[in-house]
Amino acid sequence: MIIAVDGPAASGKGTLASGLARHYGLPHLDTGLLYRAVGLASAAAVDGPDLEPTAIAAARSLDAGQLTDLDALTAAETGVLASKVAVIAEVRAALFDFQRNFALQPGGAVLDGRDIGTKICPDADAKLFIQADSKARMERRARQLEARGVAVDRYALFHQIEERDARDMLNPNGGFYPAPDAHLLDTTLMGIEAALRAAIAVVETALALKAGGQSPS
Ligand code: CDP
Ligand code: CDP
């Protein structure tokens, strides 16, 4: 069983994907970490003429050891670097096999990101596209960072998230839109437990429709 969870920055897709993985006993991949690792490895070249070749080389030589420094990877600035390397088609192509192989492991997997339902796993058994109001998302990310002792300028964070969302949505190579068979889940007014219950209900419905030979759309 493959479950695809997509959505904009700080929509709660990672938290939901990890809850779904726990519920169904499946492994989980946060695909944003791959782009964040490539962004970090290309930081010295960002906004300069060498960004493309640097990022492409970094994506092609990425290894699992680069996905462990969560403090550096999850920093807000690293998200911006990630979205700048994520527009490069060759970077996306270089990261494709790792994600696809993770999805195809025996028993299945849960993956979260931007293009899981559209590009990485168009064949997923259940697809969720998580939405939440941008102020709610900013507040969630602010509290998440503050819980780690990071000082947050909410005004700057709001604009940074909006700018990153815009870059992601306009990314011609990105596939960041709900797949036609994705279920939209707006969690603006939901806590984590309520959102997880709603997501499980979506997955159960998708599985039941599949077992009955019907398409969810
Ligand atoms: O993966 P993504 O960037 O979409 O978001 P996340 O890291 O899963 O969630 C961002 C923050 O929002 C985390 O601290 C979650 O605990 C919190 N959250 C929330 O407050 N309410 C939800 N319904 C979902 C997540
Ligand atoms: O957790 P949050 O939504 O803030 O970010 P993330 O999921 O870690 O992704 C960081 C950046 O990587 C995004 O803003 C996208 O530019 C890029 N990304 C992507 O292009 N495709 C994916 N499947 C995942 C992330």
Q: One digit per residue, pLDDT tens: the chain, 217 residues? A: 999 999 999 999 999 999 999 999 999 999 999 999 999 999 999 989 999 999 999 999 999 899 999 999 999 899 999 999 999 999 999 999 999 999 999 999 999 999 999 999 999 999 999 999 999 999 999 999 999 999 999 999 999 999 999 999 998 888 899 999 999 999 999 999 999 999 999 999 999 998 887 665 5
* Encoded tokens for 73: 């990877």
Q: State the DSSP code for 75.
A: S
- 79: annotated binding-site residue? no
pTM above 0.90, yes or no: yes
Binding site annotation covers 31? no
Ligand 1 atom nearest to CA at 7: 4
User: Which residue's structure tokens are 């437990």?
Assistant: 193
Which pair of structure tokens corresponds to residue 118? 């559209």
Find how far residue 213's CA is from the centre of its chain.
Answer: 29
The domains located in the chain, with CATH, are 2-210 (3.40.50.300)
Is 12 annotated as belonging to a binding site? yes
Q: Tell me the helix, strand and coil percentages in the chain, rounded to 5.
A: 55, 10, 35
Residue 211: per-residue pLDDT: 87
Confidence (pLDDT) at 175: 80
Q: How far is the CA of 14 from the centre of ligand 1 (A)?
A: 7
What tokens appear for 107 in the block?
Answer: 């028993």
State the Cα–Cα distance between residues 210 and 201, nearest whole angstrom: 14
